[in-house]
């Protein structure tokens, strides 16, 4: 397993590298986002550990760039609670995060957990979908979908019961709860953008079915 570590403080990077290598990981260290993007072009990584506060493009933007071409699990290193809040609140799709100061052993343990979770056969795979419920991420045919909160909610609800028709009201209830935004159009609008994102990955497959007057279902599945 090859890990990409992007950390601009050499002292922190050294202890993390040491801990990763002592645990049998191959680890590559970059000081900046730019360096990391160059490294990722030349080789594939199984997971990235990204410092949020980098001197050039920043950990969040770097995460997006690194995931543009292929799926990559990411653990963030944060310096402040505010950063952790952003990871949890936004749709960055982090697999985990560790707040500084941290023990390198703990970080390595988290790396193991994330890798195990993603490679576990327990991850449900239905019609090319892999739902990582803990990480609030859905992969489709090997690519992590870049979904809004509502698109994610809709797809997760459909994935829970492949083949079953869910009415707009059921989907509304599951995904929007008691949010103010409501109406059948809301579900339809987000299904439309969700479909477009699925088509980007697999242009010929259209796994979401419309049942006129009833609702939606998801094809395939175990």
Q: Which residues bind Ca ion (CB under 5 A)?
A: 8, 51, 53
CB of 85 to Ca ion, least distance (A): 18
Least CB distance to Ca ion at residue 188 (A): 44
Cα-based torsion angle of the residue sequence 139, 144, 150, 156 in order, rounded to the nearest 10 degrees: 10
What is the CB neighbour count within 10 angstroms for residue 25? Answer: 19
- 102, burial (CB in 10 Å: exposed 0-12, middle 13-18, buried 19+): middle
Instruction: Using the minimum distance from each CB to Ca ion, give the nearer residue, 83 or 126.
Output: 83
Residue 27 or 31 having the CB closest to Ca ion = 31
Residue nearest to Ca ion (CB): 53
119/115 Cα distance (integer angstroms): 6
Based on CB atoms, which residue is closest to Ca ion, 56 or 146?
56
Q: What contacts 110, CB < 8 A, 6 or more positions away? A: 75, 96, 98
SS3 content of the chain, % helix, strand, coil (to 5): 45, 20, 35
Minimum distance from CB of 54 to Ca ion (Å)?
6
Minimum Å gap between C-beta 41 and Ca ion is 23
Residue with smaller CB distance to Ca ion, 83 or 151: 83
9 touches 53 (CB < 8 A): no
To Ca ion, the closest distance from the beta carbon of 8 in angstroms equals: 5
Task: Work out how close the CB of 124 gets to Ca ion at its nearest, in angstroms, rounded to a whole number.
Answer: 36
Question: CA nearest 110: which of 123, 95, 122, 125?
Answer: 95
Contact between residue 59 and residue 52 where contact means Cβ atoms under 8 Å apart: yes
Q: Which is nearer to Ca ion, 51 or 126 (CB)?
A: 51
Q: Which is nearer to Ca ion, 53 or 220 (CB)?
A: 53
């Amino acid at each position: 397993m090859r890990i990409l570590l992007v950390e601009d403080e050499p002292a922190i990077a050294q202890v993390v590298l040491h801990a990763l290598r002592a645990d049998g990981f191959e680890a590559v260290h970059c000081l900046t986002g730019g360096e990391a993007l160059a490294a990722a072009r030349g080789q594939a990584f199984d997971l990235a550990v990204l410092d949020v506060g980098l001197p050039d493009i920043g950990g969040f933007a770097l995460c997006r760039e690194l995931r543009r071409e292929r799926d990559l699990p990411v653990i963030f290193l944060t310096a402040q609670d505010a950063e952790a809040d952003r990871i949890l609140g936004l749709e960055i799709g982090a697999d985990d995060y560790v707040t500084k100061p941290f023990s390198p052993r703990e970080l390595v343990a988290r790396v193991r957990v994330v890798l195990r979770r993603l490679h576990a056969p327990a991850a449900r795979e239905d019609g090319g979908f892999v739902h990582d419920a803990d990480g609030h991420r859905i992969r489709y045919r090997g690519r992590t979908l870049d979904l809004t909160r509502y698109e994610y909610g809709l797809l997760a609800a459909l994935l829970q019961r492949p083949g079953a028709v869910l009415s707009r009201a059921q989907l509304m209830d599951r995904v929007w709860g008691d949010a103010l935004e409501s109406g059948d159009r809301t579900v339809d609008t987000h299904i439309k953008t969700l479909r477009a994102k699925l088509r980007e990955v697999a242009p010929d497959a259209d796994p979401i079915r419309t049942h006129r007057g009833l609702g939606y279902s998801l094809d395939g599945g175990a």
